[in-house]
Amino acid sequence: MVDKRSAIALRIIHFARHTLRKYSRLSLTNRSEAGCVTMAANSVEAAKEAAAHRAVIDFVEDNKVIGIGSGSTIVYAVKKLAERVREENLKLICIPTSFQARQLILEHKLTLGDLETNPSVDLAIDGADEVDDRLTLIKGGGGCLTQEKIVASCANKFIVICDQGKDSHILGEKYKKGIPIEVIPFAYVPIGNKIKGKFGGDVELRMAKAKAGPVVTDNGNFILDWKFSAMAHNWDEINREIKMIPGVVETGLFVDMASTVFIGMGDGSVKEKVRT
């Protein structure tokens, strides 16, 4: 009986040791994978910061009206702006393109302005979801495309900042979520059908993640995401044709608007694209 119990005990000990070694290896693997993910995320954030700092250092001057874009990359630009205002006593007026941008301006104690009192903007700085070799942009992943395009159109210079994951030869090469199109809610179905019928691809109503129903823009409208084929297109013509559809407010295609794009790289350097 003792020998039998001893054999059972040994088997239990052996199983426990085997299980412990197995999960120790899994834990090491998981920690290694988590470390790689963290390093990659840090690399992207460093790239965004490098691009933002380059734009603010190279282009922002005293006594100017600055358009402030939306998105994660613009956070670094606003921080750098605030730093320069404190250290150099710059006098700047900042025009927001979204509620987020407005909050960033106030949070960093910058001077808040609007287009009613400052219809002419010296410089607009904004991010992009994708930029091609001709500096055509896809914007609107955050849903603020109309305000962003209005402010950019009022600016004497429009500077774009992004990380290398947004840099493509042609639109659609990397960004797969489609071109955002802000539309009047009443007309979203016929607009989607017309876009699919004329240009192909697929059109989806953007749905909210934290609540039931569609995303609603700051203007009270819906957003359609047009998923197109990644190939060479005449984006200027397509942009104009989509905007002619009744019920379309604006598209996320920014054609011939950006003068310079700063692209942050993983090693902290910055690539520059200039429209010729």
CA 42/CA 112 separation, integer angstroms: 31
Burial label for 258, CB within 10 Å (0-12, 13-18, 19+), is buried
148, 182, 204, 272: the active-site residue: 148
CA 78/CA 52 separation, integer angstroms: 9
CA 273/CA 135 separation, integer angstroms: 8
The region, left, alpha or beta by phi > 0 then psi within -120 to 50, assigned to residue 132 is: beta
Q: Which regions of the chain does DSSP assign to beta strands (E)?
A: 64-68, 92-96, 121-126, 130-131, 137-138, 155-163, 179-183, 202-205, 222-227, 248-251, 253-254, 260-264, 270-274
CA 82/CA 72 separation, integer angstroms: 16
Active site residue 148: yes
CA 161/CA 164 separation, integer angstroms: 10
- DSSP code per residue over 220-249: S-EEEEEE--SS---HHHHHHHHHTSTTEE
Neighbours of 93 (CB within 10 A): 18
Residues with a catalytic annotation lie at 148
